[in-house]
Amino acid sequence: MFTRLLARGRLGNGSVVVLSGAVSTGKTELLNALVDDAAATGAVVLTALATPAERDEPLALVRQLFRTPPQFGAEDDLAWPRVTDAEAAPAAPTDTGTAPADQLSTSAVHDLWSAIDTLARRVTVVIGVDDLHFADVESLRCLAYFGGRVRASRVLIVVSENIGHVGTDASRASWHTDLLRQPHCHRIQVSPLSPRGVAELLDTRLRLPVGTVTTTRWHHVSGGNPLLLRALTEDAAAVARQPAGLAGLAEPTGPAEPVAPGEPAEPAEPAEPVAGTAFGQAYLTCLHRGGPDLLQVARGLAILAESGSSASLRQLVDADEPTVERALDLLERAGLLERAGPLGTGRFRHPAARAAVLAEMSPGERSHLYQRAARLLQVDGAAAHTVAAHLVAAHHPPGPWAFAVLCRAVEETLDHDRLFAAECLRLARLVCSDDMQRATVALLRLRISSPSAEVDPLTAAEHQVAVQAALGGTNREIARILHITASTVEQHLTRVYRKLGAKGRADLRSTFMQFAREDLD
């Protein structure tokens, strides 16, 4: 398409091309390739890069376009404007009788366009602007003016923009509302690489044959995101002790198979992608370039670890449904996330991505979010061990509400993860508020430590009897407190001893007394 539009531009039919896509999907690379191709055909290229630091500086981007007079021939007598001079021209007064601050007059904007149009009568002009979503408002106004007049000129405007920023600022909306509806404006959607595109890039950059299965894994981990794919190759180079970067990955390493004289060696197929330091840094770069909403939602997903619903995610990041859904959609379109999982919020394509997001947060922020997530999951009806996992990850004593959840988590995980059960019991002990709760923890501790304990947990009735026995109650006292017979108490205790691996009432009592002494210490 661009080649055709460039050819039409040489004939005086200019156009605007917008390269639109999610963060780090290759828009900049494509823009650079297009303007380089244009320059190779003899066109004069004017380029600019918009940055967040200059977003609020009037005409910062336009100054870049006019910073240096173009050189295109020996007889170069073109009068090239200085934007600082044009900037001094006052804008027309508004209805209130005052001129907007830092705003060019229409005549000043026209003078800038006239300079470009005069140049275009001698040679085709291509204006390339990267990261347009970071442009200042006045520069956008100038570009919109230029774009409205290129149709009858030898000027092409090519810009790249992140769809995550489009429509989020009303002051910058005129670029789309006033210009992109015009027939000479063309939008090209830039998407992540397909599996075939990943295979071609690996084959070209790594110079290695890549099998179908391996290609699928590289595509899955990177999501087709060129920046992440490049990072994976850098991590692969580090593992193989090759120079970092794609340029240094020309040759495979490792012992070579013997080959006959004169025959080329067959390079070995690359191993599974390794997501290391470069991958983690690239992932965080994508999130930060995507904007605060993407970063915050990614952090919420990293904390919830696929255990929360969309509602709990919204509450955790303190954002409304449209904001969260938009962020999830953008994360998926950038290849940073896959919208899957039982609750439909999304999941990371590789554990290294989640690890990088968690590691970037401060310990205090992680702890706060884990505690908040645990409470939200408990209200949402999540399993006790799921809630407890977040409490354990918080590395901070929870509130009194967590006692029952932690005790249930011990029962749920005791038979297959005693270390986690013991950690839940440690937290439960920290929030005990009375002797009944201390006795409960003591009984659970006895069950964890006893090698002869059974898998089946105590029933509610057995638990009540065991607690009273641990507190020192006799069968008659327990029967009176629980309104049951002494015979029933004895039957319950028999099952309690068997399930906990206790030798008798003395074990229950001594475990509780030891626990009480430790609390005093």
pLDDT, one tens digit per residue, over 333-367 is 999 999 865 556 788 999 999 999 999 999 999 99
Confidence at residue 313, expressed as pLDDT on a 0 to 100 scale: 92
Could you report how far apart the first and last alpha carbons of the chain are, in Å?
Answer: 78
In 85-154, DSSP assigns E strands to 125-130
3-state DSSP assignment of residue 20:
strand
Give per-residue pLDDT as tens, 82-116. Answer: 776 445 444 444 444 444 545 678 899 999 999 99
Q: Is the pLDDT of residue 38 over 50?
A: yes
pLDDT range class, residue 306, cuts 50, 70, 90: confident
Nearest residue to 309 via CA among 212, 400, 381: 381
pLDDT for position 305: 87
DSSP secondary structure string for all residues of 157-205: EEEEEETTTTTS-GGGTHIIIIITTSTTEEEEEE-PPPHHHHHHHHHHH
- Length, in residues, of the chain: 521
Q: Between 169 and 442, where is the model more confident?
A: 442
Please give the pLDDT value at position 472: 85
From the number of C-beta atoms within 10 Å of its C-beta (0-12, 13-18, 19+), residue 430 rates as middle
∠258-260-262 over CA atoms, to 5°?
Answer: 125
Q: Of 57-66, 74-83, 120-129, 274-283, which range is least confident?
A: 74-83
Ordered DSSP codes for 335-362: TS-B--STTSS-B-SSHHHHHHHHHHS-
Two structure tokens written together for 473: 């109650």
Between 71-75, 318-322, 357-361, 366-370, the lowest mean confidence (pLDDT) is in 71-75
Predicted model pTM: 0.79
Q: What is the pLDDT of residue 94?
A: 46
pLDDT, the chain, mean: 83
- % of residues, the chain, pLDDT over 90: 45
Least confident of 84-93, 216-225, 447-456: 84-93
**467: pLDDT confidence band, cut at 50, 70 and 90?**
confident
pLDDT of 183 reads: 86
Question: What is the reported pLDDT for 166?
Answer: 61
Task: Say yes or no to pLDDT of 303 above 90.
Answer: yes
Confidence of residue 254 (pLDDT cuts 50, 70, 90): very low
Name all domains of the chain by residue range, CATH numbers in brackets: 1-69+107-190 (3.40.50.300), 192-238+272-361 (1.10.10), 383-431 (no CATH), 432-520 (1.10.10.10)
